[in-house]
Amino acid sequence: MSETPDPLDAEARAVLAHNDRGGYTVPNRSVYPFQWNWDSAFVALGFATFDEDRAWRELETLFKGQWDDGMVPSIVFHAPSDEYYPGPPAWGTTHVPPTTGISQPPVAATAARVLVETASSHSALDRAARLFPKLMAWHRWWHEIRDPDGTGLVTVVHPWETGRDNSTDWDEPLAAVVPTVSVAALRKDNRRVDPAERPTDAFYDRVMTLVAEARALGWDGPAVARGLSFRVCDLGVQCILARADRDLLALAGRLGEARAVADLRGWIARSDAAMAQLQGADGLARSMDLRSGRLASVPGSAAFLTLYARTASAEEAARLAQTLRAWSDACPVAVPSCSPSAPGFDPSRYWRGPVWAVVNRMVADGFDAYGHPDLAARIRRDTAAAIRGAGFREYFDPRTGAGLGGEGFSWTAAMWLSWCGSPAAPDRLTPA
């Protein structure tokens, strides 16, 4: 990479500006017209490369959607739009502004730590201090309401809550959900994106059945965590939360939050001990169906996030390195979202094979931390090459690097600016 400005830098900033709604950023204009939770955490990292105040506002605006019990929802509907289904009426929550009733992977604490540690002004720590109680309340929600028995394994109750919506990990748990609704006529996503790249109607019927179940419970947190037809420990959320706990612990130390330090250390110890329950016979971690106790039949890209979480052993890191190299024999663009040998693998359908820049960012972080900088560099190069070839697309074909899904995608632009397009960006997000 050259030290001279790359033309794509300006294009990436233009994508963020185009999708900026004044304090929050939509993922893209045509498919996702609201503020998405983990999207905004990654987008803040992109803004931080040229506008630190705007980066902080992205996180601060997200927490306007926080519920009284601490949950930060997957979507905040700041302004009305009829361009997306399911919107506020389908969710039936009572929060103002309107929100969904489910959460998403908790990346925000990691993003906040990055903003503090890369800040050029002293105001960053003050803003982190104001945000800290809200971050802590969200983490408490995960560890208490979504782990009501204190097992160390948190519960997700909806595939969309994982961020990896249509992953092969959910095929078996979703098969047990008996659909009670038919929503094909209400969908809008598959009118704006090739339906072959989106989830099926059968998937939508099942996930909207889960929304109906939660509405019937009045979106009561403990009742939802124990009562829905889909209850899974998602390896992705489990690992992202483990990493975010470590990053929030670092912030707590800097802010002198002694009680939070004690709570976080307890949650971290409990979660780390529980990770052994997610190990498959091949030594690779998987998601678990909490209703049946069964692990996912094949590993997905979330298996690599144990490195990002800093919960893996050196031996597991070596197995994961070997696994990625094997996957790369079939899919030369790293990292496919599930094993290319999996029965459900589809290189162009949403989360069933395609490459996602934000997942690559986390996977590269983990490989670098565990002494595999060659793989971290390879993932970074592959991500940059896909973006350079196809633009700031939502996701990419792992065989060819072709762009898929929505165009002008905010978090892809953010990853270009904060990581794969910048020669100065470190491979690791934080030193956790």
Local confidence pLDDT in tens for the 432 residues of the chain: 446 789 999 999 999 999 999 999 999 988 999 999 999 999 999 999 999 999 999 999 999 999 999 999 999 999 999 889 999 999 999 999 999 999 999 999 999 999 999 998 889 999 999 999 999 999 999 999 999 999 999 999 999 999 999 999 999 999 999 999 999 999 999 888 998 989 999 999 999 999 999 999 999 999 999 999 999 999 999 999 999 999 999 999 999 999 999 999 999 999 999 999 999 999 999 999 999 999 999 899 999 999 999 999 999 999 999 999 999 999 999 999 999 999 999 999 999 999 999 999 999 999 999 999 999 999 999 999 999 999 999 999 999 999 999 999 999 999 999 999 999 899 899 876
Q: Tokens 């998601």 belong to which residue?
A: 287
> Residue 322 burial by CB count (10 A; 0-12/13-18/19+): exposed, middle or buried?
exposed
42 Cβ contact list (under 8 Å, min separation 6):
107, 111, 358, 361, 411, 414, 415
Q: What is the CA radius of gyration of the chain?
A: 20
272 Cβ contact list (under 8 Å, min separation 6):
152, 242, 311
In a domain, 363, yes or no: yes
Q: What span, in angstroms and rounded, lies between the C-alpha atoms of 57 and 54?
A: 5
In a domain, 426, yes or no: no
Structure tokens at 86: 């399911």
Q: What span, in angstroms and rounded, lies between the C-alpha atoms of 49 and 120?
A: 11
For the chain, the domain total comes to 1
CA-CA-CA-CA dihedral for 8, 13, 14, 15, to nearest 10: 90
Which pLDDT belongs to residue 53? 97
What number of H helices and E strands is found in the chain? 17, 6
Q: Tokens 């995608």 belong to which residue?
A: 409
**Rounded to whole angstroms, what are the CA distances from 82 to 189, 412, 415?**
12, 25, 29
In a domain, 427, yes or no: no
Catalytic residue among 60, 165, 201, 272: 165
In a domain, 374, yes or no: yes
In a domain, 2, yes or no: no
Phi, psi values for residue 256, rounded to 5°: 70, 30
CA angle 336/337/342 to nearest 5° reads: 90
In a domain, 215, yes or no: yes
**Rounded to whole angstroms, what are the CA distances from 171 to 157, 166, 175, 283, 293?**
14, 8, 6, 21, 15
Catalytic residue among 394, 397, 407, 427: 394
**Rounded to whole angstroms, what are the CA distances from 241 to 110, 118, 234, 272, 366?**
9, 22, 11, 11, 14
* Angle in degrees, 0-180, between the axes of helices 314-330 and 373-390, rounded to the nearest 10: 30
What CATH number does residue 276 fall under?
1.50.10.10
**Rounded to whole angstroms, what are the CA distances from 300 to 25, 150, 170, 345, 393?**
28, 26, 11, 10, 21
Exposure string of 89-103, with b = 16+ CB inside 10 Å and e = fewer, is ebbbbebeebbbbbb
Q: What span, in angstroms and rounded, lies between the C-alpha atoms of 211 and 219?
A: 9
Q: What span, in angstroms and rounded, lies between the C-alpha atoms of 378 and 170?
A: 29
Q: Tokens 């996930």 belong to which residue?
A: 207
Q: What span, in angstroms and rounded, lies between the C-alpha atoms of 415 and 55?
A: 14
In a domain, 429, yes or no: no
pTM as predicted: 0.97
**HSE-up (13 A, CA, CB side) for residue 66:** 21
N residues, the chain: 432
In a domain, 401, yes or no: yes
Question: 380 is in which domain, residue-wise?
Answer: 7-420
Q: Is 394 a catalytic residue?
A: yes
**Rounded to whole angstroms, what are the CA distances from 299 to 52, 305, 378?**
37, 11, 21
Q: How many CB atoms lie within 10 A of CB 255?
A: 16
189 Cβ contact list (under 8 Å, min separation 6):
31, 84, 85, 198
Which pLDDT belongs to residue 122? 83
Which pLDDT belongs to residue 220? 97
Q: Which of 50, 48, 68, 66 lies closest to 58 in space, CA to CA? A: 48
